[in-house]
Structure formats: structure tokens, C-alpha cells
Chains A and B, each alone.
Chain A
Amino acid sequence: MIRAYHRPRTLEEALELLARPDARPLGGGTILNQQRQADFEVVDLQALGLNKIHKAGEKLEIGATVTLQALLESPHAPEALRAALKLEAPLNLRNTGTVAGALVSCDGRSPFAAVMLALDAKMTVISKQSLVISLGDLLPLRDEQLRGKLITQIEIPLNAKLAFEYVARTPADRPILCAALAQWTSGRTRLVVGGWGSSPAVAMDGRDATGLEPAARNAAHDAADEFASAEYRREVAVVLAKRCLEALMM
């Protein structure tokens, strides 16, 4: 049960509150507010001004409390990112759920996290000092790394091409399997495969696309759950990765 609600006006105030035992940052609350068993306080971030999207050269700086729908509607959002956002949650939840909240609470079925991982998104995390950490480094130990801290911004490159492919039971269902592929002008190629487990998996991050297919297959080597077998995901991940690459080559 949520035993206290705070709405700080400054980052300092927010950090002070988040230092309290059992205090948790509240973005849109679409995930956190469902947790009825635990006993905790919430620190609502809505008054901190973290809801801005800013294009800075070849980068897009996304405030932590930007809603999923606001990002989807941003003229700077790549098409493939928009496609993934549409699959992330229904419209009403996208109107409330925040980008930082969606990423830190994601599981492997999150298309948004898959795309952001492919783009090698960088999170600005503040406590007594500010720290920039990649989403890929953050997710495995997210609870420990974020305790008492606050994500203020997420940054993605705009100079990387991005493709996203998925398989689902219906057009708007969350994917059984998805692949997101980002490729920089340098040739750097980063493939993420998702659809199961605790978070999408970075299948490869190479200088070019060499080894894309085995990387896709390997990433899904133990990817069995109630929606699909690992064998299916291994083989079809290759199909999706190839389709992503074809899309980027066009």
C-alpha cells in the first residue's frame, strides 16, 4: 500500500525524498500504482519539468517524464520507434506512462525497450552527482543501480538508421518475438531481440552487420515461454534480423 505521496518542485527536493527508506519515484504510475502488496512512499516527478523533448544536433534528449504518447507524436521520433511505441501499450496508458518508467519496469516483451536498446540509449541518472549510463548496462541491475537516484533524461542518436520487425498473434498484440536493428554511419550495427524474459537481449554490437544471423539465433537460444518455443524464436529471430537489415539497406 502507498503510505505517502510527495510532489517535489525541485530535483534537490526529489532526491532528498528519494533518500528515504521505501521511497520510489513515480512517473505516470501505470505500473507502480498497481503494486498493492508492498508498503512504500511515492515521489511524483510531474512537477520537475522533466517532460521536454529536445533535439540537440544528432541527438534527441528525452526528458524522463515525457509520456510514451508524447514521444510517439514527436516529429523527431524515428518511424520504427513510433511503431514500437504503438505496440508498447494502448493509447490511454501511453498518455500517462513515461519513457523512463516504461524502461525501468520493462520486461522482455517490451518493444519500446528493444528499440531503445538497439539505439544504445543513454540514461542520465542523478544523485549527489550526475552519471550517464547506457540502458544496456542499467537494465540487468536496475533495482540496485537506481536506489535513491533519479533518471532525468534519456538520449538517443538521430544519426543511426533504425528498423523494427515483430511477430505477434494479432496486429496490436505485444510481440512474441521482435527485432530492432540500429546502424550508424560508421557501420556500427546493433541488434536487439525481444519478446520473452526479463528484458530484451542485445544480440550483437559490431562494427558492421557481419555475423548478424548467428547473433540473432544465439540471442534466443533459451527463449522458451508460454507464447513460443526457443526453437521457433531462434529460427524466426534470424528472419526478423534479416528483414531489419534489408530495410536499412533500402
Chain B
Amino acid sequence: MNLTLQINGISCELETTPSETLLSAVRRLGFHSVKFGDEHGLTGADTVLLDGRPVNAAVMLAAQAEGHQIATLEAIGEHPEQGWKQTAGLHPLQQAFIEIGAIQCGYCTPAQILAAKALLDRNPNPTEAEVREAISGVLCRCTGYVKPVQAVLKAAAVMRGETVFSGQSSVFSEQAAGRSETEELPETPVDEGGTLTQTRTMPKMVVAPQTDGWQVVGKPEAKVDAVKLAQGKPAFAADFVPYGDNKKRGLLYAKVLRSPHAHARIKRIDASKAKALPGVAAVLTWQDIPRVVYSTAGQSDPIPGPLDTFSLDNKVRFVGDRVAFVAAETPEIAEAALRLIEVEYEPLPAVLDKEEAMKPGAPVIHDEPEYVPFAVCDPQRNLAAEIRIDIGDVEKGFAEADEIFEGVYEVPKVQQAHIEPHVALTYWDEDDRLVIRTSTQVPFHVRRQLAPVLGLPVKRIRVIKPRIGGGFGGKQEVLMEDVPAHLTIATGRPVLYEYTREEEFTAARSRHPMKIWLKTGVKRDGTMTANEMRVLSDTGAYGCHALTVTGNTGHKAMALYVGDGEYRKSPNIRFYADIVYTNTPPAGAYRGYGVPQGFWAVERHMEKIARALGLDPLEFRLKNALRPGEFHPFSTAWNEGREPRPEIIHTVGLEECVRQGKAAIGWDEKFGNEAWHASVSRVPVSSVPVSSAPVSRDTGQRDTGKRKGIGVALVMQGTAIPYLDMGGAWIKMNDDGSFNLQVGATDLGTGSDTVLAQMAAEVLGVPVEDILVYSSDTDFTPFDKGAYASSTTYISGAAVVKAAQQCAERIKIRAAKMLNSQADKSTGTQGTGTQVKAEEIRLANRMAIAPDGRSVSLTEIALDALHRNEQEQIMGAASHVSPSSPPPFAAQFAEVTVDTETGQVTVDKLVMAVDGGVIVNPLTASGQIEGGMTQALGYAVCEEMTWDETGRIRQRDFDRYHIFRADEMPELGVIFVETYEPTHPFGVKAVAEIPMDGVAPAVGNAVLDAVGVNVDDNPVTPEKVWRGLRASR
């Protein structure tokens, strides 16, 4: 059928089918700002405006939209500088999103901006609540919504013609004058007080004195990729489609047939009917491709885990496991072909409960002869990995304790839920090299690990990582690139494979569920004498990240508390773990990498001990916590399956984090204050919200059955893997004094490209706009292990600094020569003018400046180097690996209201004070913290994957798996307590993962504080609290 769609004021003719969605149609027409997030419209990434209102293009037929006015982001603003062509520039919303730091991965940004535009077109003066409501149809997994909301409010003020306080420039000038000891912007009015024109987008900062005088590092620079993301440019993996509709070389769409059984042998598989379907280009089963065992865990060589996976196998090990691949001309044909594949299964007994996995007689999940073990594992017992770590003399420590506290805790399987699904495009290039354009955190691991699977040498594979729509560890996996790659090899044609949201829940990776036993010995004064953790961890059907994730559970969560006095000098710590296979979807890497699981248990346990001993919970924790100058206790015993090397912790800002966090949440006024706890138990009826209790005309008070509570958790993480994680960087100077910075580091929306550019700019004395960052492409950028383990700023950043220093050195040498030559010319005799040495020159403001004030511009130096005298390419190339993994530390606070009759918990406020070392960019770093706290909030109260008795995951969409929306967020507070980490040239540590660690236990502890109920398995759901309340009555 033929349609005419009115898109952005233009009539677009379209040949379509009745079933084509509006999303598919607008993307085919080239409007790539409209994204696929899910097949249900619940992410809102597919937002377009239909007659001025935001709607979901993925659940609307193209035909339905005929006769309506459709708007996409492409119609709104463009780059302000396009050579000789004058443009109107960016829309105020786009400008505000860039300036406020509202863009992280940028995948949902077009939808957020469109939704906001629909609001401002109707209501130019919205309240914060109205803004939150307006963008509530667009899920964001990166930002925590703080900055997008503030950006909309700022844009509204700009569009009204008001003078707007500019958070960015004001802070910049304040900092440029010298970063004050404590910087804080004016408080934001809470809400309902009219429009905000004083946006509060910057966190509170306690700055390190060593940063004084820095020009670029430490400043809230706009993200280097923000302008393109604010315009919805085709920057993501699925946005690039080669060769058009050409039937010989045109794009094919891949789909995967998945197992309905948790455990079964494929007795017979017949794809002949599917292959005969018109439009089908290839169907592959296990009989068609080589049988190569590998691991999907994206990690350095050798993979610290078993090799137990095949692209396709004659056995399936979970509901959702792969059975066959199809490539067809359209996704619909590919889906139809899946239904034509005949499969005869021999169902096998399944193991769905981790506690059953190692019992004698349990079904063996991995009986394949090709299985390659790593370290201690035993597939015959479904044991994927085993950890046994003893530090000090644990039994002696227990014997010396006055009290022993034991507890059992559980944590669930949860999903990373990045809004951009896994997606990869593969094609042969003109040199018959296989190009894999993929949304990955680990492009170099993809290339290395897939080469044997595909039967290609590494050198014949090129992996391109474009912009990534969030990863959170889910894309530290060579999860699905092999599917289109096999199909490209089979057909010779480009193949696009994009996960559905259901596949994300049933066939991607997730956080390891664990059962955790804790035993702690304590003296009556609060001195810990020994601490023991035993873990049963469920890796699911495959052992990807099995050892390393669970190893981190102990390595970080059990390292924070070492004891005090003599015990501090020689801690007694035990960490034992069994990581078992089950017939459930595999677990893997997820932001925090095992540590949130550990801290749920440890911090709930610490709270119970403090209360039982009558100790202040914060003083008790700090008494036993790590201090600067001490060894990381686990560094003497474990290193991800490699040889351990002792490591000293140089910087610990934990006490200051506690001080700042307590002040921000009002701890001293609230903790132990019964009046505060009961402050919501009776309220005037007029203040009861409609949704919780309808309004009364009465003027009396109503018993709400509610109580408030406050809780805390102290946490630590790591920064990269010592002696292993390596990143490289290249920098070259251009004719105009700008620089190309090429890094293998993988910006997955975190802003790492920006902070790397800031570090280069600081060394080279230029603004960030003069650093052109490109990441990452295995052909054109140096190796980097990828984006994981909170490593990029620390490891890749140090490589960038080294490469920049090499450039700077050459620049200074040439500058000295040029200045000396000019001086000689003025005197007429060589060597008689005022001479300057290269090492005396400093680089600033795009100039090389001598101590006496003489200067030469970087442009002049570049032209001299490239064209005029003793020509050379000024460039630097360096890599970095660190012997240290300096831990960031944090104090995380939560304030809750508990409904004592229903058990419902409402989180009112979260505060995180974090020591992440020096903060290179307060905007992007605080965005990381806010987004991480929001993900962790889901872990605390609502996110959980469960399966039925057949092993089928119950939560397969964002209806049953709820993640927080803009209109239901608690207040978030972020404080950076800077320490200067001596092992990095700019003193940085990390902020990426640590926000995941402490929210859930802080919420659990706040519930305990409110109503005296201990919930030991998260999430803290209404029924668990209600049961606790009933039991205590």
C-alpha cells in the first residue's frame, strides 16, 4: 500500500505494508532520531509528536499516522556553524540539554526533547512537576532525570526571554578563579513554587587543593558528543545501513529461534520449509557452522573463566537459548521463517534452583567434551567456579570476639536495561574483511574472541564502536555479534541483528543472584575481630564472568571493614564462594560487578550489629573501616584468578563523606528522633495526595499509618584491574593547532570521551573544543581493554596524558626554537637574543608561553612543524597499565516513608557523598552518580527477575520489570569529596560503579529505622515489609 506521511512539514510518499509500524517507516525515510527501545512503547525512545503530542511510533502503524502532522527531532534546530551557510542554530531545548549535562548516552535524548517541546508549546511556564510529567513517557537509564528536568526548565525560561542563571558558566568562572574549598550553588526551590530559573545542576564539591590553577580538568565542560546527540544524528549502530535496498548487496535482517525448554537435546532440526519461504536468504542451525567453544565474557586474554559456549549447539541450556539463525529481507519474513523451522527436542531434567545445582544426581548442564575449565571448576558438579580466600586467622578472631553475629541474605537476578538494546551490523568490506559495527563496551575483545568462532584471523575483522545507548556491563559481553557475522558469511550480504526487549530479558545477561551467609565477630566496644562471607552464586546456563563477578563480591564488600587496633594491622577475613550452573538465563557483568550483592549483605549486617550493641551505626562502621596507608586486605590473597600483588590504599575520603552526607540529609536531626519518625503518621487531610487518599472537606487530622526512617551504607569499589587493564591513546597535531585524539576506550554514554579530551586539553593548553576525539575502531584506534571496572578515566586517561605530554614536549622544543630564533633576528646575531629553554615553556590559551611573557601560538607551531622548518608530525602515542586499583569510597543515605498497614515503602530522598579522587568533570560525574543511584534504587525496591516452574522468565517487558520514571523520583543529592590519588597524573579514581553499591542497603536500613523490620532479601517489596510488621506484632 502507498501512504503519504506529513513529517516535519514535508509530504513523504511511502510504499509500505499494512503491518509496518510508524517507527519502521520514519527510520526507513531517514529520520533516525526516532529509536527502537522496546516493542511496547514503554521506553518512549520511539517518541514522535503526532499533532503536537508525544506518542510511541513502535506501537502505531504507519497507516494510522496518515493525515496527521508528525514531528521528529530532525525538524528542531541544527548546528549553528555550517561554513558559509547561516543557520538558526540549535533550539533552546537542545542548547539547554547540552549545557546542563542532560545528555549521557543520548539514545533517549531526542524523545525527551520532543516530549519537552510538546509541553512548552502548550505551557511556556511549567512547574518542575509538570516537566517531570511531560517526560515521564520516556525512560532514561543513565541520568536519574535530574539534569533533563533542569534543562527543560532552563529552556523554558530562555524561551520566555528571562535572564537565566547559567549553572555552567557561573561555576566555571568561580572555579577558574581558583576552585574554592567548598562550592555550592543556591538551593533549588523544592517544587510547586513556579518555574525555576536558577538551575542547580552542579553537585556540591569539596575540592582537592592540588587542583588549584587547572584550566580544563575539574571544569563542567559540555560533552564532546553532545551537539550531535542533541540533534538525534545517526550515530548509533542501527542508524547506519549500507547499500540501500539492493537485493544482491542490500541489508538483511536477522532473527533467532530460541528454546522453549530449560534443558533439552535437539534430536532433529529441519529448516527446509523456512529456507523455502520467499525473502529468506539463509537459515543456520548447529549442523551448518563450525563447533568452536568459547566464552562470551568480554575480558582480556586468557579469559578468567571456562570456555563453555557455542554459537549454536545441539543442546539448549535455558529457555531462550539459541536454536537457529535466520536472515531475511524484512524482519517480518525472518519472524515468519522462525515459525517454519521444525525442531524435535528431547527434554532433559532441569536445574532451576541454585541450591539444587550441586546436589548429587543433579542434571549435568555442561557435558560437552570441548569444555575448557579455568582454575577450580567442575562441570560434572555444575560448579562453574570456586573461590576460597582466608586472610589472617579467622577462627582465632571469632574466638576472641565477645559477640558473634550471623545472618543470611539474598539478592535477585536483575537486568541492566540499557535503553538501546544489543544491536550489531555486519558486512564484508571491499577488501573482504568482515566489519562488525556493534553496540559494545569491548570492541577489541569482540574482535579477538570472535575470530576463531568465525574462522577468520583477527586481522580480517574490523570492529567499529559507534555511540552506545547505554551498556552498564550488559555490553561487556560478546553476546550476539556472531549471529549477524555468521549470516553475513553465509549470504555475503550485510546483516542487522537487533535484540527485542523480550530478548534482552530472556537471552541477554543479568546480575548474578546470590545467597550470602555472613558471620562477624565483634568486641563489645565495636571492634571487629573477624568477618566471614560464604556465597552461593548462580551464573545461569553459562559461566561468563562467573569467577570474577563473585570474586569482587568479597574483594570489595569484605575489604571495607578490617577491624580496629591490632585487628586493623592483621585483619581476619574469610571469603568462600561456589558459583554454580543452573538452567536459567546466564548472568554476567552488570555495573558494580558483584559488589552491590556483597554490600547488600554487609551493610544490612553492620546495621544489625551496631543496633544490637547499642553503638552509633556510623561510628561503628568508621571505627572498623579501611584507612589511608593500609593494605587492601584482599590484594595479598586474590587477583581475579591471577597472581595476587599487595597494594596500599593511599586515599580514603570516607570520614569526610560521612560528615558531608550526614549534613546533607540532616542525619543528626532525624536519627533517633521519634518526633521526626512519627511526623507523617498524622497529617491534615488537605495535604493527603489524591492518589493515596482522597481529599476531605474536613479540617481535622487523619491517621496515615505511616512512619519515616533514615538509613546509611558505607561502600567502596575499585578502579580498574591492576597489572592487567591497559589502554592506549594517539594524539596528533593539526595545521590549526587542534588535535586528533584517538582512543580505544569505549564511551558508552558515560562521558569518557569528554574527560579524556579534558585531560589532553589541560596538558596541551587548549580548550576542549580543540581536541577532536574518536573512539573506537579496531582499525584506527589503539587497543583498550574497553569500558568496564570503572577504569577509563584512570587507565585510558593516564595513557592520554602520556601521549599529550609527548606532543607537549615536541611543541615546547619547537616553540623554544621559534622564540629563540625570533630573539636572534631582533639582535641580528645567533644566540645573542634572550634565550628560552623548552622546559621553561608552559602551554595555555592555545599559546606556548615563555617565562618572560613572549609567546608563539600553537597554530604557528603547527604550521612550522608541518610545512616550514625541519618538518615533522607532532604526535604522541602511549599506553598505560597500573599496579594500583585505588578504591573510591562513599557514604550513601536514604530517607523513606513506610506505610505500616500495607508495607509500601516510598523512598523520599537519597544522598551520596563520594570520594572518587579528583573529579575531572563535575557535570558528567554527577550525572553518573545520579543515574547510578536511580538504577540502584530500582535494585532496592522494585527490580527483580524471576522464572516459573519451566524456567521461563516472567518479566519480559518494562511493565512487569519496572524501572524508575521521571515523575516518581525521590530527591537526589550528590556531593564530591575529592582526594588526590597519587597514582594518577590528575589524581583521579572512579565514580562509575560505586553508586550502585549502597542505595539498597541504605533503604533496607531506613526501613528498619522506620518500623523495626529487617528485610534481608532485596528488593524491599511491600509484602516483605508487611510480613515483617505482622511478625513483630
Contacts and interface: CB of A to CB of B under 8 A. Distances in A.
Given A34-B39, A167-B902, A247 B693 contact: yes
A176 interface: yes
Given A26-B64, A93-B137, A96-B55, A1 B19 contact: yes
Given A1-B19, A167-B902, A228-B1023, A83 B691 contact: yes
A29 B59 contact: yes
B236 interface: no
A10 interface: no
Interface in A161-203: 163-174, 176-177
A192 to B, nearest CB: 16
Nearest to B18: A5
A92 B138 contact: yes
A168 B904 contact: yes
A4 B17 CA distance: 8
A96 B954 contact: no
Contacts of B39: 34
Contacts of A247: 693-694, 696
B693 A165 contact: yes
Interface in B15-57: 18-19, 21, 39-42, 44, 47, 50, 53-56
A36 B902 CA distance: 39
A93 B954 CA distance: 22
Contacts of A28: 60
Contacts of B946: 226
A137 B303 CA distance: 61
Given A232-B1023, A250-B698, A95 B962 contact: no
Nearest to B970: A171
Contacts of B53: 69, 95
Nearest to B964: A170
B649 interface: no
B692 A165 contact: yes
Interface in A212-250: 226-229, 232, 235-236, 239-240, 243, 246-248, 250
Contacts of A30: 41, 56, 59-60
Contacts of A132: none
B1021 A169 contact: yes
Interface string B959-991: 110101101100000000000000000000000
Contacts of A165: 692-693
Contacts of B18: 2-5, 41-42
B968 A29 contact: no
Nearest to B336: A1
A147 interface: no
B742 interface: no
A90 B1026 contact: no
A93 B63 contact: no
B902 A240 contact: yes
Given A226-B946, A236-B1026, A170 B59 contact: no
B61 interface: yes
B134 A91 contact: yes
Contact of A82 (B59, B690, B964, B1027): B690
Nearest to A79: B690
Given A44-B64, A91-B136, A239 B902 contact: yes
Given A33-B60, A79-B690, A92-B137, A226 B954 contact: yes
B735 interface: no
Nearest to B697: A250
Given A33-B21, A250-B685, A96 B60 contact: yes
Contacts of B1023: 176, 228-229, 232
Given A169-B962, A247-B696, A93 B968 contact: no
B694 A163 contact: yes
B128 to A, nearest CB: 15
A73 B695 CA distance: 19
Interface in A2-37: 2-5, 7, 26, 28-30, 33-34, 36
B1 interface: yes
Nearest to B1: A5
Chief secondary structure at chain A's binding surface: mixed
A143 B1023 CA distance: 34
Contacts of A227: 1021
Nearest to A86: B691
Interface in A123-175: 163-174
A243 B50 CA distance: 40
Interface string B134-153: 10111000000000000000
B332 interface: yes
A134 to B, nearest CB: 24
Contacts of B692: 165
B906 A171 contact: yes
Given A93-B137, A169-B1019, A250-B685, A34 B968 contact: no
B294 to A, nearest CB: 32
B133 interface: yes
Given A79-B694, A168-B904, A1 B59 contact: no
Interface string B874-905: 00000000000000000000000001011110
A80 B689 CA distance: 11
Interface string B676-716: 00000000010000111111111000100000000000000
A46 interface: yes
Contacts of B653: none
A173 B962 contact: yes
Contacts of B63: 5, 7, 44
A232 B1030 CA distance: 11
A187 B968 CA distance: 36
Nearest to B942: A169
A46 B335 CA distance: 29
B965 A90 contact: yes
Contacts of A94: 137
B741 interface: no
A36 B335 contact: yes
Nearest to B51: A95
B56 A170 contact: no
A90 B137 CA distance: 5
A69 B50 CA distance: 14
Interface in A74-106: 79-80, 82-83, 86-87, 90-96
A79 B692 CA distance: 11
Contact of B136 (A172, A229, A248): A172
B904 A93 contact: no
A171 B133 CA distance: 13
Contacts of A226: 946, 954, 960
B115 interface: yes
B54 A95 contact: yes
B1022 interface: yes
A30 B58 CA distance: 9
B914 to A, nearest CB: 24
A90 B1027 CA distance: 31
Contacts of B903: 167, 236
A224 to B, nearest CB: 11
Contacts of A26: 61, 64
Contact of B942 (A34, A91, A93, A170): A170
Contacts of B138: 92
A95 to B, nearest CB: 5
A171 B968 contact: yes
A248 B693 CA distance: 10
User: Most chain-B CB neighbours within 10 Å: which of A33, A226, A236?
Assistant: A33
Interface in B578-592: none
A83 B691 CA distance: 5
B460 to A, nearest CB: 37
- Which 8 A/B pairs are nearest by Cβ-Cβ distance? A250-B696, A92-B137, A169-B942, A247-B694, A172-B968, A91-B137, A2-B19, A171-B968
Given A5-B63, A80-B694, 7 more contacts: A1-B332, A2-B18, A79-B690, A90-B136, A92-B137, A96-B41, A171-B967
14 contacts: A33-B60, A34-B59, A46-B64, A69-B53, A92-B41, A92-B115, A93-B59, A96-B50, A96-B56, A172-B965, A173-B942, A232-B1026, A236-B902, A248-B694
